[in-house]
Amino acid sequence: MKKIKKKAILFDLDGTLIDSSEGITKSAQYALRHYGIEESDLKKLYRFIGPPLADSFEKWYGFSRAQAVEAVDVFRERYQSIGYLECELYPDTGKVLESLKQMGYFLGVATSKPEVTARIILKDKGVDCYFDAICGATMDGRIEKKADVIRELLKREPDYAISDMILVGDTAFDMQGANLLGMDSVAVSFGFGDVAEMKEAGALDVLDSMNMLLEYFKR
């Protein structure tokens, strides 16, 4: 494991800080059922965790773009009412975030989840206080992909450059988004992504727990 010096750490949310599998998969199941598709194996719906939802409806179920956008609205009917709270912090997350803040790091969240929802979740779990910036997707789809979210965060935080930051994520989509902007990234193995794919996408290292992440960033 190699340590690199950065001023700011950006975290993905789903699969990195929180295990959101229950809420997302049940809401995807709800949306698919609306279109007459019955998917009883929730593990198959893990592919909805991470990438933009509309892309997943298109890629995995053959929806047209218009239908996929509509399906996202159906997904949100359940997710915004109950699904967003069907999640848990990964073990030691609060303790690790507190330690990183004490070390002087700028901490941010960059998620493809709608920003308003991300803020509610982080507050509900009691960890919003550790973040200097929380940036997510917009409900209108204007900002959705990981690179777009990071760009928006950089606009809001002009004192930090891409070279100051590193992204922590759990899928190849996180690494690819960072790559588009020339940003370094590291992967966590306890989320929903494939470790080999994340390494291939450019992850500098793979961390197996939040405590290992803390060791990685200790100054």
Residues acting as catalytic residues: 12
Burial of 43 (0-12, 13-18, 19+ CB in 10 A): exposed
CA-to-CA separations, 205 to 93, 182, 189, 200, 208, in angstroms, rounded: 19, 16, 10, 11, 10
Helix axes 53-61, 65-79, angle to 10 degrees: 120
DSSP percent split of the chain into helix, strand, coil, nearest 5: 50, 15, 35
Residue whose tokens read 């698919």: 32
What type of residue sits at position 74? V
Backbone phi, then psi, for 112, in 5-degree steps?
A: -80, -5
